[in-house]
Amino acid sequence: MRLVFAGTPAAAVPTLRALAAQHEIAAVVTRPDAPLGRKRVLTPSPVAAAAEELGLPVIKAARLDTEATERISALLADLGVIVAYGGIVREPLLSAPAHGWINLHFSLLPQWRGAAPVQRALIAGDAELGVSVFQLVPALDAGDVFAMRTVAMPSDATADAALEILALDGAALTSDVVAAIAAGTAVASAQTGEVSLAPKLALEDGLMDWTQPVEALYARFRGVTPEPGAHTTVDGARLKILSAAPMASDAPDLAPGELLGTKNGVLIGTATTPLAVTRVQPAGKGAMNAADWWRGLRDSDGMKAGS
């Protein structure tokens, strides 16, 4: 098939590579170069870099406005495929390809419609994660589903690791759907079940509430790592938590927010058993071992997280 592909982050690259090996890619649509790092160097998106490596034409557009719509429509594509592009496809572009657009979404629809499905699923403590390929429609992630797959996830996977796993499974699933559409055998079914929403995360979503059980706190840590990042305050200063895990049931009995230094890190009390923190980033400093951070405090007696 003659395809137009739209995507931006690294999670979209496996699908682009899989489709480029099987079909004609008329163009790759991605967001413009963005400033990255301390020096704010303009850097192509991961999808743009992959497209250049594959020798594919690239259209860089911050939004799919009239100009972008005209350029993409002129490609006369059979199908549009979108994976985390970061913009909304509206009419008349939605109907420009002969078969419209399909979307790879990183959830088991209709669960977690929106911008942050993996993060929200992890925060909620979902036992299953997955991917869905559906027909793009004007309503948010509401189109009929061609295929869905549940993906086994390590119990300690943070959002970035989970998304990397889902991206590979999603690439294979999308390839199967595109092949079925090309063969005329694809069948899409209406979404069924309870709808849940996954809005983009804000900084406050990473704030740890130590009065919650450790299971809920660890789920939040996994869901907000690496961005926007799990954090708390200690002695009025913000502390980012980079690595953590629940303690066993025989752990010391600590009050919510109570800190206890160990040779390997710091234990923080919760409503149940403590959370073991092994790597942190204090405000204005680089990442360090939590044990080193604890030893560097002038007076740690009576200090509590969240204060």
The residue ranges of every structural domain in the chain are 2-183, 203-295
Q: What distance in Å separates the CA atoms of residue 218 and residue 239, rounded to the nearest whole number?
A: 16
Q: What is the pLDDT of residue 298?
A: 67
**Which CATH superfamily hosts domain 203-295?**
Formyl transferase, C-terminal domain (3.10.25.10)
Tokens at 222, concatenated? 């996994």
Q: What is the pLDDT of residue 293?
A: 94
Q: What is the pLDDT of residue 181?
A: 98
Mean pLDDT of the chain: 95
Q: What is the pLDDT of residue 306?
A: 80
Q: What is the pLDDT of residue 184?
A: 97
Give the residue among 251, 243, 235 at the shortest CA–CA distance from 296. 235
Burial of residue 39 (CB within 10 Å: 0-12, 13-18, 19+) is exposed
Tell me if 103 sits within 8 A of 187, measured CB to CB.
no
**What's the average model confidence in pLDDT over 86-115?**
97
**What's the average model confidence in pLDDT over 98-107?**
98
Are 2-183 and 203-295 equal in CATH topology?
no
Better pLDDT: 301 or 246: 246
Percent of the chain with pLDDT strictly greater than 70: 98
Band of pLDDT at residue 300, cut at 50, 70 and 90: low
Give the residue among 300, 279, 302 at the shortest CA–CA distance from 291. 279
Inform me whether the pLDDT recorded for 94 exceeds 70.
yes
In angstroms, how far is the first alpha carbon of the chain from the final one? 58
Q: What is the pLDDT of residue 285?
A: 93
Q: What is the pLDDT of residue 180?
A: 98
CA distances from residue 13 to 236, 261, 271 in whole angstroms, order as listed: 41, 42, 41
Count CB-CB contacts under 10 A for residue 141: 23
Q: What SS3 class is residue 279? A: strand
Helix (H) or strand (E) holding 7: strand 2-7
Q: What distance in Å separates the CA atoms of residue 246 and residue 278, rounded to the nearest whole number?
A: 11
Strands (DSSP E) contained in 152-274 are 230-234, 237-246, 259-261, 266-268
Q: Which amino acid is at 287?
A: A
Spacing of C-alpha 37 from chain mean position: 20
Q: What is the pLDDT of residue 176?
A: 98
Q: What is the pLDDT of residue 36?
A: 83
Inform me whether the pLDDT recorded for 41 exceeds 90.
no
Inform me whether the pLDDT recorded for 222 exceeds 80.
yes
Band of pLDDT at residue 283, cut at 50, 70 and 90: very high
**What's the average model confidence in pLDDT over 34-44?**
86
Put simply, whether the predicted model's pTM sits higher than 0.85 gets the answer yes
Instruction: Please state whether 86 falls in left (phi above 0), alpha (psi between -120 and 50) or beta.
Output: left
Burial of residue 64 (CB within 10 Å: 0-12, 13-18, 19+) is buried
**What's the average model confidence in pLDDT over 185-195?**
97
Topology (CATH level 3) of domain 2-183? Rossmann fold (3.40.50)
- Paired strand residues for 233: 238
Q: What is the pLDDT of residue 307?
A: 62
Band of pLDDT at residue 85, cut at 50, 70 and 90: very high
Lowest-confidence region among 10-14, 40-44, 161-165, 275-279: 40-44
Q: What is the pLDDT of residue 65?
A: 94
